[in-house]
Amino acid sequence: MRTPIIAPSLLAADFSILATEIKRVSDAGATYLHFDVMDGHFVDNISFGLPVLQSLATKHHLINDVHIMIDDPRRYAARFVQAGAHIVTFHYEACANERDIKSVIASIVGTGGLPGMSIRPRTSVEVLLPFLKELHLVLIMSVEPGFGGQSFNEEAFERIKYLRKFIDDNGYKTLIEVDGGINATTGPLAVAAGADILVAGTYLFGHDDLDARFKALVAQK
């Protein structure tokens, strides 16, 4: 079974000591750092934006994995790359049509970033298929986007398996990322289903046994 990439989600970190929180997860073995950007429109919550990413981007060696839950990815996607994002993942549901999707992908690639696309739990996974060859990753939400601490929706396992088979059968290099309710039980099961990247927030941040929690996420089931 593949060893997953662990992407700690800053949404669950202590915002008053972000530099310290990033160092802790980096020392524990993180290679990605997940930023959840919310605009209060596409999702109800509001988090952080370009200034926070820009101020943190050069303060660590991790890959800045930015998930933009915003209404207008065409306007902002490239700006997040310019602010320090290595990967920018936007939502299928935020685009009106295929032309918009391709425009966002082109804007990310054109500014030196890697494109990702995400779908809400209620959106058919099949909408991702025409774009897989152009995407660095697809993000499967196992909770409704917008808030941390939700329980894992087990329907995500079948969506991951479906995508894993399609990607492998077509020889694509697209990675599968999973976000929402990831813990020591759901994380390894998601990897067994075919996930490459696990986004974990409340499971990691705010606990003293961080090293043990990282090891539990990569343990084989």
* CA separation for the pair 195, 176 (Å, rounded): 5
179 catalytic residue (yes or no): yes
CATH (domain of 122): 3.20.20.70
**Candidate list 27, 65, 71, 179, residue with the active-site label:** 179
Whole-prediction pTM? 0.95
Terminal Cα distance for the chain, rounded: 9
Quote the number of domains for the chain. 1
* CA separation for the pair 9, 180 (Å, rounded): 10
At residue 31, does pLDDT exceed 70?
Answer: yes
* CA separation for the pair 131, 171 (Å, rounded): 14
Write the pLDDT tens digit of every residue in 108-128: 999 999 999 999 999 999 999
User: Average pLDDT over the chain, rounded to whole?
Assistant: 94
- Beta-carbon contacts of 107 under 8 Å, excluding residues fewer than 6 positions away, are 74, 77, 78
**Candidate list 14, 36, 44, 71, residue with the active-site label:** 36
Note down the domain range covering 141: 5-218
72 catalytic residue (yes or no): no
